Amino acid sequence: MFPSDNLKIFSGSSNVALADAVCKYLGIPIGGAKIDRFPDGEKVIRVEDDVRGRDCFVMQSTCRPVDEHLVELLIYLDCLRRASANRITAVIPYFGYARQDRKDEGRVPITAKLVANIIATAGADRVLAIDLHARQLQGFFDIPVDHLTGELVLSEYFRGKKIDKLTVVSPDVGNMKMAARYASRLGGELAIVHKKRMSGREVEALEIIGEVEGRNILMCDDIVATAGTVCSAAKLVKKRGAEKVYVGATHGVLAEQALERLGQTPIDEVVVTDTIPLSERAKKHDNIKVLTVSAMLGEAIKRIHRNESVSSLFNNV
């Protein structure tokens, strides 16, 4: 019988709208909890529903303010564990710190691994995440991870646009496999941009391998953060004679100067998902469209709760 009283979904404060949409999909109310602060600024959470022996899910994107949302998630997990939940799944639609996944110079941390460790230590038995930047990040967690991808809802949207003369462009070498999956789903050609990263904020698209002249471009990425990567690549493909340029990315981090950059670049549409809520400024931007991942997350939660296969969600897509 579904939904059952045994399933409880709670939401951190990072993305309440997405948690509401997931609960609506599942036909259950969102779990009762109070998130408050002590006068000195410390956060305190009190879960108001009885969770003893229940299958609990906590939804929290560790987006900006990253550390605050992360700590809130940890407190939530500890709270549910001490309240005797039977199983706790941390649902992390956007996992901040994912890009700090290796030592690419001396004396730097691998913060993605640190964060994975503390999430498990705080009480998570499982993780449900979407596009963890690099798929091998699943191995950073010593607990089971179900990994979903925003590529499905994005592909569906772009398929509906029936873009002719389509070339899917990977804006850097790291996204090549993702671009190939889009090209095979949507039936386009494939091209790749060679980019040079000067700093966290500055990148330069240097060269393209593949044909873009007279083609309509779908540029795909997992994250648009400062938008340096996609804007620099968009300018290069335009210079080489591309017609329309669309961007599809799972996580619209849209940090710092991203909106200005997107406004100054010949991109026809930027499509992201609701793993991160758009800022009020971003909502006013003319050509940013948001697709929801709520049904996909809801379906995955339902299957995890019933101990059914989650990977079969992706068969034939």
Q: Which is nearer to ligand R5P, 17 or 173 (CB)?
A: 173
* Three-state SS sequence of the chain: CCCCCCEEEEECCCCHHHHHHHHHHHCCCCCCEEEEECCCCCEEEEECCCCCCCEEEEECCCCCCHHHHHHHHHHHHHHHHHCCCCEEEEEECCCCCCCCCCCCCCCCCCHHHHHHHHHHHHCCCEEEEECCCCHHHHHHCCCCEEEECCHHHHHHHHHHCCCCCEEEEECCHHHHHHHHHHHHHHCCEEEEEEEEECCCCCEEEEEEECCCCCCEEEEEEEEECCCHHHHHHHHHHHHCCCCCEEEEEEEECCCCCHHHHHHCCCCCEEEEEECCCCCHHHHCCCCEEEECCHHHHHHHHHHHHCCCCCHHHHCCC
| 151-190 residues near ligand R5P, rule: CB under 6 A | 171-172, 174-175
Q: Does 297 bind ligand R5P (CB under 6 A)?
A: no
For the bound state, the minimum distance from the C-beta of residue 174 to ligand R5P, rounded and expressed in Å, comes to: 4
| 4-43 residues near ligand R5P, rule: CB under 6 A | none
Out of 103, 195, 283, 284, the active site residue is 195
Q: Does 262 bind ligand R5P (CB under 6 A)?
A: no
- Segment lying near ligand R5P (by CB under 6 A), choices 52-60, 116-124, 220-228, 240-248: 220-228
Q: Which is nearer to ligand R5P, 83 or 134 (CB)?
A: 134
- Segment lying near ligand R5P (by CB under 6 A), choices 17-25, 57-65, 182-190, 219-227: 219-227
Catalytic: 195? yes
Q: Does 192 bind ligand R5P (CB under 6 A)?
A: no
For the bound state, the minimum distance from the C-beta of residue 236 to ligand R5P, rounded and expressed in Å, comes to: 14
Q: Does 225 bind ligand R5P (CB under 6 A)?
A: yes
Q: Tell me which residues touch ligand R5P (CB under 6 A).
A: 99, 171-172, 174-175, 203, 221-229
Catalytic residues: 195
